[in-house]
Structure 1
Amino acid sequence: MEVISTVVQLAGGAVLTTLALAIIVIYFQPAYIVHFFLRLNKWRAGCTTKYVKVGEQQFAYMERGRPTKNQPSLLFLHGFSDRKETFCEMIMHLPKHLHVIAVDLPGHGDTGIKAKADLTVEAYAAKLHQFIGVVGLDHGPLHLIGHSMGGGLAGCYAASYPEKMWALTMICPGGIKVPENSVMFEKIFQGNRHVMIPETVEQAEEMFNICLYNKSLIPPKRALKGYVDYSRPYINFNKELFDAMLELGQDGLTPYLGKIAAPTQVIWGRHDKALHISGLDVIKRKVTASLQVDVIEECGHTIGLEAPKKAAALLLNFRETVVNK
């Protein structure tokens, strides 16, 4: 009994020590909060991180499942200043038999980028095409899914490489000059050019207020501090990329919409304050391919966080529609 008591005391001490260390780390190194949840969500989604050399550049991506003949693979492209793990919540709601890849785009997450690299959407599409070939996604038709900046890139890719496409899903896509400015662009035009690149907790809170309709999802201040600290190494590149996108006049995707041949789905949050939902009107006018439009009510820009189950269900419904055509 004395041995058991000693073991229990040691175990209790270990738990308390671990808890104390966790509190200390969170207080002094809040960025570890972000690292922890990135790894947790990736594990919950059943994905594995992998790395591959594309030319002279190393790409990081996560993968679940293997390609099959009957079900086209899904390739997810994240938005500006985001990373592959942003899709974990959606992937959790997709059937396990589907082959899924989500990639860190150049300059994001764990994928690097050369200094003075070409930051046009065409250059990103060409690099993405190389990645697709290296990881073997070019052996069969592809279902490409992109959010925000990644949605604009997905549309450009679909128009540029139609032979690779099975279906296209654009979620709140960027690169469309819309008839009505969003809250984000109003702030940009008022002089807050880098409103989406926070350097303080207050700026991070402002950014999340733009991205999220459901304000209860805005992280507490300590977690916001962790986000700011985590994002700090990316700030200079993010500013350079955002400036490059603004130079296009919000219009990087529009010229490609009429060239898309693959069946296309557009998902948008009704209350998106980053990219105005009136972009749908432009898409409906320009896209000549088969088009399915899905609007998620009471949802903002960050659909993968606010409505992952709904978005996954819409995605699967669209795939069924394409199969049955």
Structure 2
Amino acid sequence: MATATVRSDLGPDWERDGHDWPNRHGSSFVRAAGLRWHVQQIGHGPALLLLHGTGASTHSWRHLAPLLAEHFTVIAPDLPGHGFSETPERARMSLDGMASGLAALLHTLGHRPVVVGGHSAGAAVLARMCLDGGIAPAALVSLNGALLPIGGRAGRWMLPLARLLAASAMVPRLVARFARTQGMVERMIADTGSTLDPQGVELYRRLVCSPGHVAAALTMMAGWRLERLAAELPQLAPRLLLIAGSNDRTIASSDAERVKTMVPGARTVIMPGLGHLAHEERPQDVAGLIVEFARDHGALPPELAAAE
């Protein structure tokens, strides 16, 4: 049973905002690496770690995690500063800082995941952890993964803009205020190329209405550096599955094809008509792909043939 945690950074409050949080029965608060983390653990079997992307939280796995829990012990934390996890100092909101913190969290929990899956920036954190030796899974699943630097004109203005916004104490409060405006969160989700059910929209609204959560997402984006990660991707030890939505307006599905050419043995699956939140739109299909990939690479036993 989860115990209450107090956020001093205007983030979501567990008793107020988490009273009906998806998979709440698996929630607990764990102290590791100097932070109090919100972690969900459900299911039985080999350990599988799920990491959400920038601006999301464990709610992103509300449908997928229970499906995977039929085969695995699923561990899903809120990233630092996101959801109900505490926010560290700015330097630890970097890719390297998050990878190190999550490795410490796993050590505290006593888990050594055999399969890891990350959405968007979560996939980059997992790749960094693998390259640094923080984890050694048999398989890594990237869900619309942000594994390559943003190129072109967007790359030249997005990072400076994120730094500017992250430096302002007022911006997160303004974003949180505007998030209460009818239709704003719906437009934000539509801009990713995805369509979510009303529950999914409401959960994102709760997060975006919290200045602390918004501030953490902006700080994370401002400190994001993927050049070294991209250069080291060919050294990834686990087998890599890249799942992408063909309608992703945040990270083009062509990025998955580019990464495939960089990582020996990598495989891509492009899901037609789905956007950046494909794992929330079609969790059953994504779960099937992950379980199949895990079986193919020895992380789960082979499926028993049906009796004739």
**TM-score strictly above 0.5:** yes
Structure 2 residue aligned with 1:53 = 31
Larger radius of gyration: 1
The alignment-based identity, stated in percent, is 18
TM-score by length of 2: 0.76
**1:163 Cα deviation after fit:** 6.3
Counterpart CA distance in 1 for 2:59 and 2:52 is 9
Where in structure 2 are the equivalents of 1:82-161 lying within 5 Å? 82-138=56-112, 142-161=114-133
Contact 2:26-2:40 at 8 Å conserved across structures: yes
**1:97 Cα deviation after fit:** 4.4
1:213 to 194, 197, 201: 194
Counterpart CA distance in 1 for 2:95 and 2:156 is 23
Counterpart CA distance in 2 for 1:223 and 1:51 is 20
Structure 2 residue aligned with 1:274 = 250
1:287 to 256, 263, 267: 263
Change (3 A) 1:179 1:110: closer
Counterpart CA distance in 2 for 1:147 and 1:123 is 18
TM-score by length of 1: 0.73
Change (3 A) 1:122 1:264: same
Contact 2:21-2:59 at 8 Å conserved across structures: no
Equivalent residue of 1:315, what SS?
helix
* Structure 1: 5+ residue stretches without partners: 1-30
Q: Deviations over 1:110-148 (max 9, x none)?
A: 21122333332112111111111111113xx52111101
Correspondence 1:241 to 2:220: yes
Counterpart CA distance in 1 for 2:35 and 2:201 is 36
**1:77 Cα deviation after fit:** 0.4
Counterpart CA distance in 2 for 1:191 and 1:130 is 31
Where in structure 2 are the equivalents of 1:146-185 lying within 5 Å? 146-161=118-133, 164-177=136-149
* Count of aligned positions: 276
**1:191 Cα deviation after fit:** 7.0
Counterpart CA distance in 1 for 2:76 and 2:135 is 21
Structure 2 residue aligned with 1:232 = 211
* Structure 2: 5+ residue stretches without partners: 1-12, 166-171, 303-308
**1:242 Cα deviation after fit:** 1.5
